[in-house]
Chain A
């Protein structure tokens, strides 16, 4: 009897508890979802996919797929060794130059290490600007500026890695522990001395791991840079593609995959050993 009473009061109490209202989704959502759907429909129409055409032209795939699965290994081994080495060299040089140029810039592009508002805005917007231009566009521009060859590729990938490293590192510097910086300042260090002695050691491990990541990206990017005449193995791919010699391209793709996997393994090893 008493237990039942207890239960009843408990139930009454529970009914009195005001359950918080479920928050309404913002009105932007009601506007946004139809707009997204309309935009999807619009761009789908603009691209012009027709299933009938696709089906009719599907037989054309033999132009590509038959030679692609019929690789000519001997030709590829003979002719792609030196461009492949060139590709790796472009990636090494560009990622080194780009990352070391990005190191000082990203300290200037972070509010924690740069008290001056003007230089902060200048550096930040410079990094944002160069990040919007894709890697192959840099390739085209530098081919126009310094003529064809691997040198244009090195400059293009330097800008590419500078942009990525600048963004990653400046965001890391934003989130460092400011205690050591204050400590260095309180002992009378100048801004440069404080940054050098207490901010730089904090981000050094991140810098190394970003560098390895950017080096992998550069290897992938330097392969296609040859398409616009900026050196490397892409040059061979482009010339063979124009003549539809996909039997010569497919071994190159396999070699590229092997090199990318090999470099990934090396960078995993270095990360384990040093970090």
Chain B
């Protein structure tokens, strides 16, 4: 008897199975949520009624005095949160990257082998735990300590940013080119020299780009955090919608969109400049 190798399951079979299960899941969800085609067909009409209530927006002095400071508060929350995240995640990233991690030798006891504690392993688990909590849940926890206001949102966003930025930065550090490190070692540099002249210059552009990218995300998150009273523009939007002041809600929306669009544009331009670098012409370089 010859053992024939097993015929692999064809990709088409898997694809067909996936399509069937997607259709099945969609029908199951729609029936569970009591969504009929009738309701779906009516939705655009209802949304149009809301949009026509939002515009024209309320541009009276009173509304602007109320809304503009709140919009800028969101900006401050997002920026300070990003700065907290960047400052704390930077050293953590080096500890949690495999190639720059520290090994701690715990003292031996009971004549057993020495236990080696890798900082990369410990810090990675800590970062995973931090990242698992959404910003809103963190804000719940901070509310009794820091009260209703911008500080709660800042701390929640800052701590969540430590988790995400730490992970992204440590992945950048793990992906560096080892050549410069070897060169520094060969010319007599110690571990610290390797870190400062080999690793940091290589990873800095990408890490700063990640900080700016996180700032864009945090701006949206800080706008959302207002819903539970952690400062920012979300509080204003939910209040105006509850009081059926739709034209003022329109003002809040337009102000948020303008802020987010302009910040996205500026930060996107800076990121592109950092990653691509300044274009230096050959004549200017004088080689």
Chain A residues positioned under 8 Å from B231 (CB to CB): 47
Chain A residues positioned under 8 Å from B73 (CB to CB): 46
Q: Is the CB of A48 within 8 A of B149?
A: yes
Q: Is the CB of A64 within 8 A of B144?
A: yes
CB within 8 Å for A135 and B224 given contacts A44-B80, A145-B50:
yes
Q: Of B59-67, B104-112, B134-142, which stretch is located at the interface?
A: B134-142
Q: Which of A63, A140, A224, A227 contacts B237 (CB 8 A)?
A: A140
Chain B residues positioned under 8 Å from A135 (CB to CB): 224
Q: Of A88-96, A110-118, A185-193, which stretch is located at the interface?
A: A88-96
CB within 8 Å for A93 and B149 given contacts A137-B237, A227-B228:
no
Q: Which of B34, B80, B224 contacts A43 (CB 8 A)?
A: B80
Q: Is the CB of A137 within 8 A of B75?
A: no
Interface residues of A: mostly helix, strand, loop or mixed?
Answer: helix
Look across to chain B and name the residue whose beta carbon is closest to the beta carbon of A135.
B224
Q: Is B234 positioned at the interface, with any CB of A under 8 Å from its CB?
A: yes
Chain A residues positioned under 8 Å from B286 (CB to CB): 18, 20-21
Q: Is B122 positioned at the interface, with any CB of A under 8 Å from its CB?
A: no
* Complex CA–CA separation, A62 to B6 (angstroms): 60
CB within 8 Å for A61 and B151 given contacts A132-B257, A270-B18:
no
Q: Is the CB of A23 within 8 A of B241?
A: no
Q: Of B20-28, B167-175, B189-197, which stretch is located at the interface?
A: B20-28
Q: Is the CB of A89 within 8 A of B261?
A: no
In the complex, chain B residues 256-284 whose Cβ is within 8 Å of any chain A Cβ: 256-257, 260-261, 264, 278, 280
Chain B residues positioned under 8 Å from A228 (CB to CB): 227, 238
Q: Is the CB of B15 within 8 A of A145?
A: no
A243 CB to closest chain B CB (Å) equals 13
Per-residue CB proximity of A235-273 to B under 8 Å, as 1/0?
A: 000000100001001000100010000000000001001
Q: Which of A57, A64, A231 contacts B33 (CB 8 A)?
A: A231
Chain B residues positioned under 8 Å from A141 (CB to CB): 50, 241, 253
Look across to chain B and name the residue whose beta carbon is closest to the beta carbon of A94.
B29
* Residue of B14, B29, B149, B278 with most chain A CB atoms under a 10 A cut-off: B29
Q: Is A144 positioned at the interface, with any CB of B under 8 Å from its CB?
A: yes
* Complex CA–CA separation, A96 to B22 (angstroms): 9
Q: Is B35 positioned at the interface, with any CB of A under 8 Å from its CB?
A: yes
Q: Is A213 positioned at the interface, with any CB of B under 8 Å from its CB?
A: no
A176 CB to closest chain B CB (Å) equals 21
Q: Is the CB of A47 within 8 A of B77?
A: yes
Look across to chain A and name the residue whose beta carbon is closest to the beta carbon of B262.
A132
Q: Is the CB of A144 within 8 A of B50?
A: yes
Q: Which of A43, A54, A134, A257 contacts B132 (CB 8 A)?
A: A257
B-side residues, CB < 8 A to A, are 11, 14-15, 18, 22, 25-26, 28-30, 32-35, 39, 42-43, 46-47, 49-50, 73, 75-77, 79-80, 83, 132-134, 136-137, 140-141, 143-147, 149-151, 154, 220-221, 223-224, 227-228, 231, 234, 237-238, 241, 246, 249, 253, 256-257, 260-261, 264, 278, 280, 285-287
Return 21 A-B CB contacts under 8 Å, by A number: A20-B285, A40-B83, A47-B80, A47-B150, A49-B154, A57-B146, A68-B141, A132-B260, A133-B256, A134-B220, A135-B224, A137-B224, A141-B50, A146-B46, A146-B47, A151-B35, A224-B224, A227-B136, A231-B33, A253-B137, A274-B14
